[in-house]
């Protein structure tokens, strides 16, 4: 998103939702940094599934070290075996997911260079065909790699906890409640979701 779009998004959210207006005031500027290396972003997302941030960072570091002097790329991953990935600390499942992603990109089945031309729903469809990439991972890719402005990851635990806290709910919101609250955020649900994550850092 360009500065002009961000300013427009913030104006809209402040006007449309008093709760979001308060979060924006406390959290400050919208500073999301896009992950330009799309393949790396997807590999790192797979590695991070169901483990702590610290454990994921350790495996990321080991994978990058193992590939040296090569960079993390589809071609470099496609040359690895399941056993090599297992030796770095990936589970059997994650190793097969990473290899599947590398194979699909190198074969041209998944065009990461052209994916930014697709609408959100098509991006999600294309990515979820890869083993180990679900809707949540695809939504994170839309927000953090492609910079799409109107993605609402209603299943994200952080977003649900933030909505419960900010809107004074007794329990974590279900899909219906989450979408009802997020309706006023459209067409800037990605920006509002980012502020939801930021709000978790408040005292």
pLDDT category at 8 given cuts 50, 70, 90 is: very high
Mean pLDDT, residues 152-175 taken together: 96
Per DSSP, the three-state class of 174 is coil
Q: Which of 124, 144, 164 is where one domain is finished?
A: 144
Give CA–CA dist 20/152, Å, rounded.
15
Query: Are 27 and 61 within one domain?
Result: no
Query: Are 106 and 11 within one domain?
Result: no
Query: Are 113 and 91 within one domain?
Result: yes
- Number of domain units in the chain: 2
Considering all CA atoms of the chain, what is the largest pairwise distance in Å, rounded to the nearest integer?
A: 54
Per DSSP, the three-state class of 30 is coil
Query: Are 7 and 96 within one domain?
Result: no
Q: Which of 125, 144, 163 is where one domain is finished?
A: 144
Query: Are 164 and 138 within one domain?
Result: no
Whole-prediction pTM? 0.90
Q: Which of 144, 159, 184 is where one domain is finished?
A: 144
Catalytic annotation, residues:
156
> What is the tens place of the pLDDT at every residue in 79-136?
999 999 999 999 999 999 999 999 999 999 999 999 999 999 999 999 999 999 999 9
> Which region among 46-55, 74-83, 189-198 has the lowest average model confidence (pLDDT)?
46-55
Domain hosting 188: range is 3-32+150-199
Query: Are 56 and 104 within one domain?
Result: yes
Q: What is the DSSP string of 80-126?
A: --HHHHHHHT--HHHHHHHHHHHHHHHTTSS-TTTGGGS-HHHHHHH
Query: Are 167 and 194 within one domain?
Result: yes
Give CA–CA dist 38/36, Å, rounded.
6
What's the angle, vertex CA 29, arms to CA 24 and CA 34, rounded to 5? 115
Rounded to the nearest 5 percent, the helix, strand and coil shares of the chain are 65, 0, 35
């Amino acid at each position: 998103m360009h500065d002009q779009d961000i300013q427009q998004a913030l104006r809209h959210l402040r006007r449309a939702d008093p709760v979001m207006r308060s979060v924006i005031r406390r959290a400050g500027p919208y500073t999301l940094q896009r992950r330009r290396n799309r393949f790396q972003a997807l590999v790192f997302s797979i590695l991070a599934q169901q483990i702590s941030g610290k454990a994921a960072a350790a495996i990321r570091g080991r994978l990058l070290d193992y590939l040296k002097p090569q960079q993390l790329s589809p071609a470099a991953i496609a040359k690895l075996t399941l056993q090599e990935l297992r030796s770095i600390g990936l589970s059997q499942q994650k190793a097969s997911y990473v290899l599947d992603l590398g194979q699909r990109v190198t074969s041209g089945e998944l065009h990461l260079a052209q994916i930014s031309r697709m609408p959100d729903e098509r991006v999600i469809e294309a990515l979820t065909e890869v083993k180990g990439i679900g809707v949540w991972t695809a939504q994170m890719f839309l927000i953090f790699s492609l910079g799409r402005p109107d993605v609402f990851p209603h299943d994200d635990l952080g977003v649900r906890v933030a909505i419960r806290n900010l809107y004074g709910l007794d329990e974590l919101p279900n899909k219906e409640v989450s979408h009802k609250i997020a309706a006023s955020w459209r067409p800037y649900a990605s920006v509002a979701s980012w502020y939801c994550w930021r709000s978790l850092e408040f005292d």
